[in-house]
């Protein structure tokens, strides 16, 4: 006897398939886009945050050996400039390299001067940043061309000092501990994700273009990022990362 296709069963399968297709379709339409947008948001945030961290850590890495090896460090009153006196070096044939010169009294001798300074972008206002340069002056007074160490640095967005309530200076020399504290806030625009709001190079509020400021709150004495227009509802168009390092001067 030949088996006939079961009409009812076939119709049932079609119905189940239709229901399944509808459910899967609904899932695709409702759940996937939210995954997609959450992922895009995370990706934009992570990429920008990584860029800003790299920028800030690069500045500090660049300064570290100069600060450590210097004989003395002086910071300007506004903390935008650090002047380091390096020990004099001379070629040592026995070591086949440059070594520190030791004077008659057994101590080091002053050599080159290295200055690090922050210069604000002349076209900028508010939270707009500037560059950090390194200037070398030879022991004989010859000034070398300043070299750019970092751009897009935002000292006005440095964490607030608990003692003064103002943003930490870029450079601070703690005479008691003989350390130099460097605080660098770098900004990195969030990468564009097509149709979303245009990215901004400046750390401004992406909602209204307002300047960003640090405002001390109960939970955050170092200050939370606020917008001058929307306050705590600020939507920074870029990721801001602060690196703060204490470097000991070890040469005397
Ligand atoms: Zn705003």
pLDDT 10s digits, 30-51: 777 777 778 887 887 788 788 8
What's the pLDDT band for 80 if we cut at 50, 70, 90? very high
CA of 232 to the centre of ligand 1 (A): 9
CA of 186 to the centre of ligand 1 (A): 20
Q: Ligand 1 mean position to 119 CA, how many Å?
A: 26
Mapped onto helix, strand or coil, the DSSP state of residue 99 is strand
- Look at residue 165 and tell me if it is in a domain: yes
Helix ranges (DSSP H) in 70-221: none
CA 165 – ligand 1 centroid, Å: 22
Residue 180, domain member (yes or no): yes
Q: Which of 155, 93, 87 is nearest to 121 (CA)?
A: 155
At 119 the pLDDT is: 92
Tell me how far the alpha carbon of residue 160 lies from the centroid of ligand 1, in angstroms. 20
C-alpha of residue 35 to centroid of ligand 1, in Å: 27
Domain residue limits at 43: 9-248
CA of 206 to the centre of ligand 1 (A): 7
> Residue 129, CB half-sphere, CA atoms under 13 Å: how many?
23
CA of 239 to the centre of ligand 1 (A): 15
Distance CA 160, CA 167 (A): 4
Mean pLDDT of 109-138: 87
Please give the structure tokens belonging to residue 249. 């001067």
How many domains does the chain fold into? 1
When pLDDT is cut at 50, 70 and 90, the band that residue 227 belongs to is very high
Ligand 1 centroid distance, CA of 37 (Å): 23
State the distance from the centre of ligand 1 to the C-alpha of 212, rounded, in angstroms. 8
Task: Answer yes or no: is 37 within a domain.
Answer: yes
In a domain, 190, yes or no: yes
Asked whether residue 182 carries a pLDDT value surpassing 60, the answer given is yes
pTM score, whole prediction: 0.76
Q: What percent of the chain has pLDDT over 70?
A: 88
Q: What rounded mean pLDDT belongs to the chain? A: 84
Q: What is the 3-state secondary structure (H, E, C) of 7-37?
A: HHHHHHHHHHHHHHHHHHHHHHHHHHHHHHH
pLDDT recorded at residue 15? 85
Confidence class of residue 146 from pLDDT cuts 50, 70 and 90? Answer: very high
204, part of any domain: yes
Measured in Å, residue 49 CA sits from the centre of ligand 1 at: 20
In a domain, 4, yes or no: no
Span of 45-49, 143-147, 199-203, 237-241 with lowest mean pLDDT: 199-203
Tell me the CA–centroid distance for residue 56 and ligand 1, in Å: 25
| Predicted pLDDT at 124 | 64
Of 56 and 183, the one with more pLDDT? 183
Domain annotation covers residue 1:
no
63 φ/ψ angles, rounded to the nearest 5 degrees: -85, -25
Which of residues 3 and 91 earns the better pLDDT score? 91
pLDDT confidence of 226, banded at 50, 70, 90?
A: very high
Task: Give me the pLDDT at residue 137, please.
Answer: 96
Give the separation between CA 163 and CA 216, rounded to whole angstroms: 12
pLDDT at 216 > cutoff 80: yes
* 30 assigned to some structural domain: yes
Asked if pLDDT for residue 10 goes beyond 80, the answer is: no
Q: Per mean pLDDT, which of 5-9, 69-73, 114-118, 230-234 is the most reliable? A: 114-118
Within 10 angstroms of residue 131's Cβ, the number of other Cβ atoms is 16
The CA distance from 5 to 247, in Å, is 84
CA of 121 to the centre of ligand 1 (A): 22
């Amino acid at each position: 006897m030949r088996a006939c296709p079961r009409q009812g069963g076939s119709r049932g399968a079609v119905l189940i398939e239709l229901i399944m297709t509808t459910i899967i379709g609904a899932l695709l339409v409702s759940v996937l886009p939210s995954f997609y947008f959450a992922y895009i948001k995370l990706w934009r945030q992570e990429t920008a945050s990584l860029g800003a961290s790299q920028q800030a850590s690069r500045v500090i890495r660049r300064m570290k050996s100069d600060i450590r090896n210097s004989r003395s460090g002086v910071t300007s009153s506004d903390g935008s400039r650090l002047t380091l006196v390096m020990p004099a070096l001379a070629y040592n044939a026995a070591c086949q390299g440059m070594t520190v010169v030791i004077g008659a009294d057994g101590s080091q001798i002053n050599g080159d001067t290295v200055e690090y300074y922050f210069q604000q972008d002349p076209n900028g206002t508010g939270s707009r940043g500037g560059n950090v340069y390194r200037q070398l002056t030879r022991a004989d007074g010859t000034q070398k061309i300043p070299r750019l160490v970092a751009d897009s640095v935002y000292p006005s967005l440095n964490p607030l000092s608990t003692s003064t309530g103002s943003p930490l200076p870029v450079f601070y020399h703690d005479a008691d501990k003989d350390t130099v504290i460097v605080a660098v806030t770098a900004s990195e625009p969030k990468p564009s994700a097509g149709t979303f709001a245009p990215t901004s190079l400046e750390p401004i509020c992406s909602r209204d273009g307002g300047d960003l400021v640090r405002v001390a709150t109960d939970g955050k004495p170092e200050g939370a990022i606020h917008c001058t227009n929307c306050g705590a509802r600020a939507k920074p168009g870029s990721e801001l990362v602060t690196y703060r390092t204490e470097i000991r001067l070890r040469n005397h």
